[in-house]
Structure formats: C-alpha cells, structure tokens
Structure 1
Amino acid sequence: MSQALIANELLAFLQQKLDVMDEVSAIQICATNFNEEDVAAAKLLLYTSLNKCDQMVSRRRDGTRKSIQDIITLLKETDSDDVPTFVARDLNKLPPVTFDHVDVTSLLKDIVIFKASLVDVQKRLDASQVTVADLRKELSDLRNTVTVTRSPSAFKVNVTLTCG
C-alpha cells in the first residue's frame, strides 16, 4: 500500500466501504451525503493522484452519480498499491452506513472462510497437542531410563576379593 495519506472524506469512505457494500448503495449514500462540488473535487483529486487526468470524463447531466461511478470504477480497476490512502479529516462528514447498505452475501462468504480457517487451526492445534504429549512421554521414559542406569544398584558388580 502506498504511504501517501490524502485527506478527502468521499474517497476515504469509498476506499473503505466498497469491500462490504454494493456499488448501487455506495452511489446512493455518496450522492445523498456529498454535494456536487465535493464529488467533482474528489474525482479530480483521485485522477490527479493517479496521473490519469487525461482519462477523466467530464459529466454534464446527472454528473454527480456518474462521477461517483467513475470514481468507484477507477478505484476498483487500479492496483491498490498504486492508490494513495485517503483519510477523513472531518469524521462528521462520513456518511453513516446502516445494515441495509451492507452486502450480507460478502459477509457470509467471509464467515464461511473464517470458519474453514478456524477448523484448520483447530486441527493443527490438536495435532500439536498430540505431538507435545508424545514428546512428554518420551522425555519421561528417557528420564526413567537415565535414573535406572545411574542408580547404585546398577553399578553393583559381583566382585570377589582374593588376596593372593
């Protein structure tokens, strides 16, 4: 990810929320919470920061919604490492996102992936616990063997003393 931090509430919102909400909802939220000037400034800032001003399309009718769509398209088509990190200077400008706007399908997919990952981690933990138990038993057996071989009775040898 690029280290540049650029303050723009609209771009910060879209950069963070496009993973959890559908485009139609994102466009609707942005169109109702940001004015035309905010959208135009955000679009210009994004295209400028990516050195793609020559690709920027000027919108006349319904420019706000189409400009938001242009922003979303550019964010999705550009490698995330090439996009600067956008931050919100004024958190009060960020629109609220209710559960109605969240892409539940995406969240359910993530939950399924997390469950599978958790099962894998649990299997590895169980295998590790068995290995640790086996190693402890082996260590205990080795200690017992060492104790038996070092015991005084193990060194008693039937020696006959003869004086000659």
Structure 2
Amino acid sequence: MLTPKIGVFSWKEAEANIPWGTIILFAAGISLGTVLLKTQAANWMSTAMFSSIGISTLSVLGIIAAVAAFNFLIHLGFASATSLASAFIPVVISLTQGLEGYSIATLIGIVLIQQFVVSFGFLLPVNAPQNMVAYGTGAFTTKDFLKSGVPLTVIGYLLILLFAATYWNWVGLL
C-alpha cells in the first residue's frame, strides 16, 4: 500500500487518511471473540447468563425470545454493534453448543438471528456510531432517542419473533 520507492503514499498521508480507529475496533472485536471462545470464557458466560432461566427447557422460539431480550438489554452498554457482536455472539455460540436435541441448522439459525438483533441500537445515542453523529449535531436530545427508540425496539423485537415463527422456520433455518 505504501510502496515507499514508488511514492503512492507516504506514511504521513496514510496515517492521516486511514480510519485507524475503525481498524483497531474491528481487530479488537475479532480478538475478543476469539479469546472468549478459545479460553472457554464464552461457555462460562453462557452458563452464568442463561442457566438460571432454564433456557434448555424452552422451545426454539422461547430461546430466541429470551436471548434477544437479553441482547437488547446489554446493547445499552455497548457503543457499537461491532463491539457487541464480538463480545456476545461467542456467548450465543457457546449457548447453542450446549443445547441438545436441535438440528445444526436450528442452532446456526439461533446464532444468525442474534446477529440481526445486534444491529438494533435505537435507544441511546451511544448505541451506534450513526446515533452519535446525529446527537453530536445538537438537534436531538437523549429523550428524543428514547421517544423514537423504544417503539422501534419493541417493533424490532416483535418482528424478530414473527420472522422466527414463520419465515425462518419455513426456509429451514429453525
């Protein structure tokens, strides 16, 4: 990329024009997910989070509903879908590995559906970079985000459940 002898980019130009923060965020997220899976921390977290509600006794739709609700809740503490996905999806993978009596397609479907839920960062300005940009203009308050975010989150949750009960079931994902 730099090709120093040819002169395509100097280091100063590359440093100024490349979004290093984004690259570091992705690298940290991928590293976090890998570490969670390799150290069995994701398995421990999955057990700690979901065993108390008896998740293994729920139907597939019940599992999706419970995990999606938890996903919405913890999204409040993450500034981007990337960081949430890198921390939470390994936990969901570990959760599905502990579920018995379901096909591989169903287990993959549960994880895939949670990937959709990760992108529902509507409640607070810090839940998504695009929210922070809009909030930074001064045209919106946190209360404005909540006024529109709560209905959007409820609608998104209901749509996830509707699609899980119908479409994703019809196409063999669940």
Q: Which has the larger radius of gyration?
A: 1
Tell me, yes or no, whether TM beats 0.5.
Answer: no
Is the helix fraction higher in 1 or 2?
A: 2
Structure with more relative contact order (C-alpha pairs < 8 Å, separation 6 or more): 1
Taking structure 1 as the reference length, what is the TM-score of the superposition? 0.23
